[in-house]
């Protein structure tokens, strides 16, 4: 029989443990409570109120992650796309972004509790990511309320967590394919979305995109840092290893245009950026005429 969830909070020495507490937060179903738990956990860790048991293997409960009954999860192709010139269209967009950030809280918390044996700095990094994703979710949820809606009002898809499941057995694959692939796509998508919001006269929503892009550069940089750390530890070539893992775990093929400046800031090297151009005609065209800048 699995232990009750509350038993996951404390390590064997009786002290509150960051990784076990992250699992409890991951199991939380109510979105605002999950976001608050992520922020509080980071504050407690930085205040020295909880420890981090890096070597302990933790057994997680079934049914991860905790999520509310709504939104209804559907296939991505089933989702309707609406223009941003109307409040209804912007509400759908804000809901989609809030769903991404809610999932990003889950992804970061999962990276904290699941993988034993990493340096403590790894767990501190991903706990910080969880707290920042929680802040993003709060900003988007509040803005969504301005439009008369709440998180859960529109359907959403489960693509981010699907990749989390595929990489659950290998921290190297997780670092390669969640922050460096799926989350890095946000670096590319954010500027054009922000521009369309600004053109629609929605400066408040556009300002939230500025906050998210700033922080997401740091999150992808953390993914790059730990991916390269693990490649060095395992004596693996990073570029070849990434290609192998992307094929093994069926990562989505990336298409341009790409935000190369943000990707550089996030730690991608020039060979990686050249590979993106080579695989994407849209990115190559942008590189030729300067639009990718």
Asked if the structure places residue 69 within a domain, the reply is no
CB 130 within 8 A of CB 105: yes
pLDDT in tens, the chain (293 residues): 344 444 455 544 445 899 999 999 999 999 999 999 999 999 999 999 999 999 999 998 989 999 999 998 888 777 777 778 899 999 999 999 999 999 999 999 999 999 999 999 999 999 999 999 999 999 999 999 999 999 999 999 888 889 999 999 999 999 999 999 999 999 999 999 999 999 999 999 999 999 999 999 999 999 999 999 999 999 999 999 999 999 999 998 888 889 999 999 999 999 999 988 887 655 544 433 332 22
| pTM of the shown model | 0.90
> Which is nearest to 37 in space by CA: 51, 23, 16, 54?
23
| Residue 231 belongs to some domain of the structure | yes
DSSP 292: T
Question: How many Å apart are CA 264 and CA 88, to the nearest integer?
Answer: 35
| Cβ contacts of 198-206, under 8 Å, gap ≥ 24 | 199/84, 200/84, 200/85, 200/90, 202/84, 202/90, 204/143, 204/146, 205/90, 205/94, 205/143
pLDDT of residue 266: 98
Helix (H, G, I), strand (E, B) or coil at 156: strand
CA distance from start to end of the chain: 56
Q: What CA–CA distance (Å, rounded) separates 71 from 62?
A: 20
- Whether 11 maps to a domain, the answer reads no
In a domain, 16, yes or no: no
Query: Residue 197: its pLDDT value, please?
Result: 95
56 lies in some domain: no
DSSP state of 78: G
Ramachandran class of 16: left when φ > 0, alpha when ψ lies in -120 to 50, beta otherwise: beta
CATH of the domain at 266: 1.20.1260.10
> What is the pLDDT, as a whole number, of residue 286?
41
pLDDT of residue 291: 29
Position 277 in a domain = yes
Number of domains in the chain: 1
Cβ-based neighbour number of residue 269 at 10 Å = 14
Which residue range forms the structural domain that includes residue 144?
Answer: 83-289
User: Looking at the domain assignment, is residue 23 inside a domain?
Assistant: no
Query: Exposed e or buried b for every residue in 102-115, given b needs 16+ CB within 10 A?
Result: bbbbbbbbbbbbbb
Is 227 contained in some domain? yes
């Amino acid at each position: 029989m699995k232990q009750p969830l509350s038993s996951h909070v404390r390590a064997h020495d009786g002290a509150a443990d960051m990784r076990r507490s992250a699992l409890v937060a991951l199991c939380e179903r109510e979105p605002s409570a999950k976001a608050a738990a992520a922020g509080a956990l980071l504050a407690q860790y930085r205040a020295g109120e909880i420890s981090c048991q890096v070597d302990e293997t933790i057994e997680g409960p079934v049914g991860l992650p905790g999520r509310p009954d709504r939104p209804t999860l559907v296939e991505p192709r089933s989702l309707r796309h609406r223009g941003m010139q109307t409040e209804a269209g912007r509400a759908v967009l804000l809901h989609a972004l809030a769903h991404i950030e809610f999932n990003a809280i889950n992804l970061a918390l999962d990276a904290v509790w699941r993988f034993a044996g990493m340096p403590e700095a790894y767990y501190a990094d991903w706990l910080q990511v969880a707290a920042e994703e929680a802040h993003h979710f709060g900003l988007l949820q509040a803005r969504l309320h301005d439009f008369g809606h709440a998180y859960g009002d529109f359907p959403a898809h489960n693509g981010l967590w699907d990749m989390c499941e595929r990489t659950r057995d290998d921290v190297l694959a997780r670092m390669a394919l969640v922050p460096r692939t799926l989350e890095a796509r946000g670096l590319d998508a954010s500027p054009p979305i922000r521009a369309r919001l600004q053109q629609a006269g929605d400066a408040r929503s556009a300002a939230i995109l500025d906050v998210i892009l700033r922080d997401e550069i740091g999150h992808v940089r953390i993914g790059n840092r730990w991916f390269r750390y693990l490649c060095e530890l395992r004596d693996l070539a990073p570029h070849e290893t990434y290609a192998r893992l992307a094929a093994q775990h069926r990562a989505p093929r990336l298409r341009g245009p790409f935000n190369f400046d943000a990707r550089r800031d996030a730690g991608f090297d020039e060979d990686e950026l050249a590979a993106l151009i080579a695989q994407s005609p849209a990115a190559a065209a942008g590189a030729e005429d300067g639009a990718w800048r």
